């Protein structure tokens, strides 16, 4: 199975990368951009798990290592390996 994890700064956390990207887009003429948040995208391949077990394990991975729960939020999707091809 493949877990696709997205980690983003919490809305109340300052995001200097997002601010820089927003300013860069504005300087390129994309003035309609109201806000930008920059996060992380992580793919995790998991062997030998049911989808339920994989969800529990990925949740634990996110809480223990992949996301800093103080300043980041996370979400993820799980899909069988065969859908990836």
What are the domain boundaries of the chain? Answer: 2-84
**Cα 72-75-54 angle, rounded to 5 deg:** 125
Q: Mean pLDDT score of the chain, rounded to an integer?
A: 94
Contact 80, 62 (CB under 8 A): no
End-to-end CA distance of the chain: 12
User: What pLDDT, on the 0 to 100 scale, is given for residue 81?
Assistant: 73
Work out the average pLDDT over 26-49.
95
Q: Does domain 2-84 have CATH number 3.30.1280.10?
A: yes
Is the pLDDT at 49 greater than 80, yes or no? no
List C-alpha distances in Å: 20 to 30, 64, 80.
Answer: 13, 29, 37
What pLDDT is stored for residue 48 in this prediction? 78
Q: Is the pLDDT of residue 55 over 90?
A: yes
Of the listed ranges 49-53, 68-72, 76-80, the least confidently predicted one is 49-53
């Amino acid at each position: 199975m493949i877990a696709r994890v997205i980690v983003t700064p919490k809305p109340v956390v300052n995001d200097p990368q997002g601010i820089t990207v927003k300013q860069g887009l504005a300087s390129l003429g994309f003035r309609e951009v109201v806000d930008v948040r920059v996060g992380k995208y992580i793919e995790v391949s998991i062997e030998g798990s049911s989808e339920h077990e994989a969800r529990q394990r990925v949740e634990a991975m996110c809480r223990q290592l992949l996301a800093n729960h103080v300043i980041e939020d996370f979400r993820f999707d799980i899909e069988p390996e065969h859908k990836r091809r």
